[in-house]
Amino acid sequence: MSGIEVVFFIFLLALSVYFWIVFKKIPKCWTLKKSTVVYSLSGFSVFFILIFAGLSYTNGTKKILHQFYSNVLYLSYPIGVIHNTVEAYDYLSYDNVTEKEVFNALDISESSDQKICVFVLGESSRYDNWQVNGYHRSTSPNLASIDNLVVMADMISTAPTTGLSLPLILTRAKASVKRFDPGHSFLTALKQAGYKVSWLTNQVLEQSTVPYINEADNYENISEKDQYDDQLLQLLKKELIETDSNLFVVLHTKGNHFDYDERYPIEFDHFKPSTKKETFVSRDIANKELYINSYDNSILYTDYFISEVIKSLDLLDKEVVSSVFYVSDHGEILFDHGRNKMGHGIGVVDRNLYHIPCFVWLSDAFVKARPGKYHYLKENAGKAASTENIFDTILDLNDIQIDQGLGSSLTREYVPQKRYVLINNDSIADYDLIIR
Instruction: Work out the average pLDDT over 376-405.
Output: 97
Preceding peptide of 78 cis, ω within 30°: yes
Average pLDDT, the chain: 84
- Predicted confidence at residue 27, as pLDDT, reads 42
- The band of 31, judged by pLDDT with boundaries at 50, 70 and 90, is very low
Confidence at residue 284, expressed as pLDDT on a 0 to 100 scale: 95
Span of 103-107, 272-276, 375-379, 420-424 with lowest mean pLDDT = 420-424
The pLDDT-based confidence of 16 (bands split at 50, 70, 90) is low
Q: How many C-alpha atoms does 125 have within 13 Å on its Cβ side? A: 32
Q: Is the entire prediction scored with pTM above 0.85?
A: no
pLDDT higher than 70, residue 235: yes
> Which of the two residues, 100 and 148, has the higher pLDDT score?
148
Tell me if the bond preceding 371 is cis, omega within 30° of 0: no
pLDDT digits (tens, 9 = 90+) for 300-359: 999 999 999 999 999 999 999 999 999 999 999 999 999 999 999 867 789 999 999 999
Please answer whether residues 71 and 341 qualify as being in contact, where contact means their C-beta atoms are separated by less than 8 angstroms. Answer: yes
**pLDDT of 7 over the 80 cut:** no
The DSSP result for 391-430, as a single string, is HHHHHHHTTEE-TT--TT-TTS-------EEEEETTEEEE
pLDDT tens column, 89-137: 444 444 434 444 679 999 999 899 999 999 999 999 999 999 999 999 9
Given pLDDT bands bounded at 50, 70 and 90, which one contains residue 10? Answer: low
Query: What are the contacts of 55-59 at 24+ separation with CB within 8 A?
Result: 55/1, 55/5, 56/1
Confidence of residue 225 (pLDDT cuts 50, 70, 90): confident
**Residue 182 confidence (pLDDT):** 76
